[in-house]
C-alpha cells in the first residue's frame, strides 16, 4: 500500500466517523444524565430527512443592496436545512423526554418506538413532498456543506510526509467535521470542569443525591436530552447535506446503534468516544477500498465482509468482549422521589 492510499483511507475515516461521533456524543449527554437513548438512530434519520427536504426547497435569505442589482446571501439553503434538521431531532428528543422523564415510561421502549416512527415517517413525508420514491431531490451548490480548504493547505502540500497529510486528511472537510471534533473538546470541558457537568453526571449516578441537594432532577435530565436532540440533528443533517447529497430511505443504516456501541466501548467518556468512533469510521472506510485491503492482507476479501466489519465490531463490543463497561448507575431508571 502506498502513502497516497493510506491518506485516502484516513480522509474517508474522518468523513465517515463524523456522524458516528456526533451521535455518540449526543448519546453521552443523555446517558450520563441517566436516560438511556436507543433512539439516536431515529433522531438522526428525521434530521437527515428534514434537512434534505428544506435544503432542497432552496429557501434562502438574501439582502438586496438598494439601487444596485447585487444581492448578498445571508442564510443559504443548507443552513436552513441544518436548522430544520436540528428542529426535527429536537422534536423527537422532546417526545423521548416527556415519555421517559415526565411520565416515567420505559426509556428503551420509548427509544425503539421513535426509531420505528422515524423509519416510516421520513419515507412517507419525503414521498408525499417530492414523489421520488421516498428520496429528497439531489442537492448541489449552496444547498450542501462544501469542503473547506484550511489555510496553507496548498502551500505546504509539497512538504514531505506532513504536507500531504495536512492537505489530504486534515484539510478539505465540511465545517461539520471540524465542529464534531470541537464538540468533543467542549463536551470534556463541560462534563468535568463545569457545574452543569457535575450535576449532570451526578444525576446519572444518584439522582437522589442531586434531588436532596435541592437541584431539579427533571430539569437536568430534560436539558441533557435536549442537547442530545441538537447533536443528533447535526449528525443527521451532516448525513444528508455533507456526506451525501440528499436524504435516502434508511440512510443512517444503523449508525445510531454503532454510535451506542462506541459509547459503551468508550465507557461513556468523551475523548475515548472519539477514538472509538474513529475506529468504527476506519472500518467503514476500509469497505470503500477493497483493493487496498487486498494488497495488504494478500488474499481476496469479499466486499460484503468488509461492509459487515463495523457491524461485526458493534456486536463484538455489545457482547462485552472489551471488558466490563459500567454504565451510569441510575441509567434506565425513571427517578421517583422517595425517602
Partner 1 sequence: MASQNGADAAFAIELKGISKAFGPVQANRDINIAVPQGTIHGIIGENGAGKSTLMSILYGFYKADAGQIFVNGQLTLIPDSQSAIRAGIGMVFQHFKLVQNFTVLENIILGVEDGPLLNTSLAKARKELERLARDYDLEVDPDALIEDLSVGHQQRVEILKALYRQAEILILDEPTGVLTPDEADHLFRILKGLKEQGKTVILITHKLREIMEATDNVSVMRRGTMVATVKTDETSPEALAELMVGRKVLLEVDKGTAKPGDVVLKVEDLRVRDEHKVERLKGVSFDIRAGEILGIAGVAGNGQTELLEALGGMIRATGKITMNGQDLPLQGKGSDGQSRRRAGIAHVPEDRHHHGLILDFTAWENIAFGYFNDPDYQKNALFMDNAAIKADTAQKMEKFDVRPPIPTLAAKSFSGGNQQKIVVAREMEQSPALLLIGQPTRGVDIGAIEFIHNQIIALRDAGAAVLLVSVELDEIMSLSDRIAVMFDGKLMGFRDPETTNERELGLLMAGMTGKEEAA
At closest approach, how far in Å is the CB of 190 from partner 1? Answer: 10
Residues 53-112 touching partner 1, rule: CB under 8 A, are none
For partner 1, the closer CB: 205 or 294: 205
Among candidates 22, 38, 33, 24, which has minimal Cα distance to 223? Answer: 33
214 CB-near residues (< 8 Å, 6+ apart):
none
For partner 1, the closer CB: 297 or 326: 326
Q: Is beta strand 61-64 parallel, antiparallel or unpaired with respect to 71-75?
A: antiparallel
Contact between 323 and partner 1 by CB under 8 A: the answer reads no
Contact between 209 and partner 1 by CB under 8 A: the answer reads yes
Residues 167-186 touching partner 1, rule: CB under 8 A, are none
Are the C-beta atoms of residues 228 and 43 closer than 8 Å to each other? yes
Q: Give the separation between CA 89 and CA 239, rounded to whole angstroms.
A: 13
Number of residues binding to partner 1, judged by CB under 8 A:
22
For partner 1, the closer CB: 196 or 311: 196
At closest approach, how far in Å is the CB of 46 from partner 1? Answer: 32
For partner 1, the closer CB: 127 or 272: 272
Among candidates 174, 223, 177, which has minimal Cα distance to 197? Answer: 223
Contact between 211 and partner 1 by CB under 8 A: the answer reads yes
Q: Which stretch binds partner 1 (CB under 8 A): 79-87, 105-113, 170-178, 187-195?
A: 187-195
| Residue burial 48-81, b: 16+ Cβ < 10 Å; e: rest | bbbbbbbbbbebbeeeeeeeeeeeeeeebbbbbb
Q: Give the separation between CA 49 and CA 125, rounded to whole angstroms.
A: 9
Q: Summarize as ranges the residues that interact with partner 1 (CB under 8 A).
A: 193-199, 201-202, 205-206, 208-215, 329, 337, 339
Amino acid at each position: 500500500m502506498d502513502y497516497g492510499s493510506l491518506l485516502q483511507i484516513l480522509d474517508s475515516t474522518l468523513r465517515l466517523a463524523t456522524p458516528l461521533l456526533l451521535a455518540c456524543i449526543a448519546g453521552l449527554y443523555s446517558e450520563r444524565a441517566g436516560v438511556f437513548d436507543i433512539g439516536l438512530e431515529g433522531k438522526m434519520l428525521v434530521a437527515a430527512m428534514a434537512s434534505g427536504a428544506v435544503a432542497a426547497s432552496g429557501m434562502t435569505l438574501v439582502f438586496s443592496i438598494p439601487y444596485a442589482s447585487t444581492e448578498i446571501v445571508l442564510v443559504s439553503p443548507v443552513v436552513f436545512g441544518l436548522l430544520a434538521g436540528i428542529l426535527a431531532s429536537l422534536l423527537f428528543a422532546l417526545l423521548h423526554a416527556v415519555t421517559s422523564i415526565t411520565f416515567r415510561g420505559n426509556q428503551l421502549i420509548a427509544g425503539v418506538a421513535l426509531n420505528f416512527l422515524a423509519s416510516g415517517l421520513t419515507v412517507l413525508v419525503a414521498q408525499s413532498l417530492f414523489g421520488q420514491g421516498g428520496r429528497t431531490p439531489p442537492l448541489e451548490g449552496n444547498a450542501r456543506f462544501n469542503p473547506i480548504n484550511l489555510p496553507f493547505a496548498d502551500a505546504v502540500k509539497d512538504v514531505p510526509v506532513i504536507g500531504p497529510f495536512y492537505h489530504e486528511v486534515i484539510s478539505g472537510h465540511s465545517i461539520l467535521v471540524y465542529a464534531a471534533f470541537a464538540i468533543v473538546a467542549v463536551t470534556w470541558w463541560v462534563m468535568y470542569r463545569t457545574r452543569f457537568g457535575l450535576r449532570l453526571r451526578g444525576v446519572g449516578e444518584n439522582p437522589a443525591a442531586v434531588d436532596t441537594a435541592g437541584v431539579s432532577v427533571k430539569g437536568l435530565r430534560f436539558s441533557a436530552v435536549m442537547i442530545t436532540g441538537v447533536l443528533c440533528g447535526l449528525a443527521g443533517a451532516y448525513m444528508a447535506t455533507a456526506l451525501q447529497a440528499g436524504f435516502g430511505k434508511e440512510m443512517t443504516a444503523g449508525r445510531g446503534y454503532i454510535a451506542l456501541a462506541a459509547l459503551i466501548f468508550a465507557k461513556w467518556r468523551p475523548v475515548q468516544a472519539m477514538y472509538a468512533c474513529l475506529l468504527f469510521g476506519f472500518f467503514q472506510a476500509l469497505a470503500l477500498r477493497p483493493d487496498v485491503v487486498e494488497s495488504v492482507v494478500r488474499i481476496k476479501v469479499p466486499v460484503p465482509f468488509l461492509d459487515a466489519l463495523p457491524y461485526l465490531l458493534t456486536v463484538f463490543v455489545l457482547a462485552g468482549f472489551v471488558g466490563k463497561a459500567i454504565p451510569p448507575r441510575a441509567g434506565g431508571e425513571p427517578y421517583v422521589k422517595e425517602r
